[in-house]
Amino acid sequence: MKGKEHIYKIAPYEPGKPIEEVKRELGLSDVIKMASNENPLGPSPLALQAIREHLEEISYYPDGNCTILRQKLSEKLGFPPNCFVFGSGVDEIIHFLGLAFLDEGDEALTVEPSFVRYDASALLNKAIIRKVPLKDYQYDVDALISAINERTKLLFIANPNNPTGTFIDKEGLKRLLEKAKGKLVVLDEAYVEFVEDTTFPDSLLFLREGYDIIVLRTFSKIYGLAGLRIGYGIANEETVKAIEHIREPFNVNHLAQVAAVAALDDDEHIRKTQQVVWEGKRYLYEQFKEMGLRYIPSQTNFILVDVGKDSREVFRSLLREGVIVRTGDIFGCPNFLRVTIGTEKQNERFIRALKKVLGGAL
């Protein structure tokens, strides 16, 4: 049966290629994935241990309120428990935001390129997604402010942004929030734990000051739990209440909750991951410079790098070397690859493969 007319405007998501698929298709035995911004060190050992201990409980429905995790985050971040909403990944919360706040003809504002799931959230509800271009890969706060109009309901701001790794600083965010009064500003902070720049804003401070924002955080990136699907939002009570009306009762599975609670205590794993990513970033910057490749300085665990020609070609050649990355064409940057920073060994292998693949061009 044909579906509803407007849903065909939503492009089905194209995920990064899974390792097993590449092994099978190309007959390779050793494949690494540097494509989906996952933690190269894997999950927190504390989370793994917790999952083992609670495995037998999966015959029960999960706690629909994520009570223990909610309490833990409330204490850690200093917000009341009813300021949190949980999702099967931040992806699901983005979906909830469209359902709860966007009507036909409303506008959601974002930038281009950015995370593609904002489009789906708006289009599903027959809302308009308006995209302000980045300026030389950086946020253009003035252009964003100029694009706000009376039909704007939501602003989707990935901070730092995916796929560029660039960000809105404290001063810029303050200006934007002032001009966006009466709208809900979604600050998607999927990569916040990787930020090094000291001018990056403390979004929770703005929330405390009363700005109408929802801050999104995930366990998929630095916490290494992408496969379990869990993320959360922090907002004022009214925003959370609205989402609670459309959230499905058992949307976050039990093992995800158990793992997230344990992972929050694993400061050592976080520190180690940050160290690996920050060191890896400097190594890759250096290598790109030596190779004469332009890259966009990043506050995340991935880098957008200009390979000087159709990145789909380079992508396919890298696959044959057993290295999975992402092409920029899906983000409107056809000459760029987006590479997730890996372990030291993975980064070296990626650079070797890239040198080989670009060989003649260098």
Q: Which of residues 168-207 bind ligand PLP (CB under 6 A)?
A: 188, 190
Binding residue for ligand PLP, selected from 89, 172, 322, 342, defined by CB under 6 A:
89
Under the criterion CB under 6 A, does residue 226 sit at the interface with ligand PLP?
yes
Closer residue to ligand PLP in complex, CB, 163/322: 163
Number of chain residues interacting with ligand PLP (CB under 6 A): 13
Min dist CB 162 to ligand PLP, Å, is: 4
Binding characters for ligand PLP, 113-152, by CB under 6 A (x = yes): --x-------------------------------------
- Phi/psi for 268 (5° steps) reads -65, -40
Q: Which is nearer to ligand PLP, 172 or 224 (CB)?
A: 224
Q: How far is the CB of 358 from ligand PLP (least distance, A)?
A: 26
Quick one: 13 exposed, middle or buried, by C-beta within 10 A (0-12, 13-18, 19+)?
exposed
Smallest gap, in angstroms, from Cβ of residue 316 to ligand PLP?
Answer: 24
Binding of ligand PLP by 90 (CB under 6 A): yes
Looking at 87-95, 137-145, 284-292, 314-322, which segment touches ligand PLP (CB under 6 A)? 87-95
The tokens for 31 are 């494949």
Of the listed pieces 84-92, 169-177, 239-247, 304-312, which binds ligand PLP according to CB under 6 A?
84-92
Smallest distance, ligand PLP to C-beta of residue 56, A: 26
CB of 175 to ligand PLP, least distance (A): 22
Closest CA to 156 of 126, 132, 178: 132
Closest to 147 (Cα-Cα) out of 156, 138, 137: 156
- The verdict on 158 binding ligand PLP (CB under 6 A) reads yes
Six token digits for residue 254: 């039990």
Among 231, 233, 280, 322, binds ligand PLP (CB under 6 A): 231
220 makes contact with ligand PLP (CB under 6 A)? yes
8 Å CB contact between 165 and 336: no
Indicate the residue among 156 and 288 with the shorter CB distance to ligand PLP. 156
Which residue among 43, 46, 66, 91 contacts ligand PLP (CB under 6 A)? Answer: 91
Which residues touch 231 (CB under 8 Å, ≥6 apart)? Answer: 86, 87, 88, 89, 90, 91, 92, 93, 190, 216, 217, 218, 219, 220
Binding mask 17-46 for ligand PLP (x = CB under 6 A): --------------------x---------
CB 224 within 8 A of CB 65: no
166: contact with ligand PLP by CB under 6 A? no
Question: Rounded to 5 degrees, what angle do the CA atoms 35, 138, 143 make?
Answer: 130
Amino acid identity for residue 210 in this structure: G
Of residues 250-279, those binding ligand PLP (CB under 6 A): none
Residue in the structure block whose two tokens are 């990064």: 16
Beta carbon of residue 322, minimum distance to ligand PLP (angstroms, whole number) = 23
| Count of beta carbons in the 10 Å neighbourhood of residue 30 | 8
> Which one of residues 39, 218, 273, 327 is an interface residue with ligand PLP (CB under 6 A)?
218
Q: Which of 121, 125, 162, 346 lies at the binding interface for ligand PLP (CB under 6 A)?
A: 162
Smallest distance from ligand PLP to CB 287, Å? 24
Residue 188 CB, shortest distance to ligand PLP, in Å, is 5
Contact residues for ligand PLP (CB under 6 A)? 37, 89-91, 115, 158, 162, 188, 190, 218, 220, 226, 231
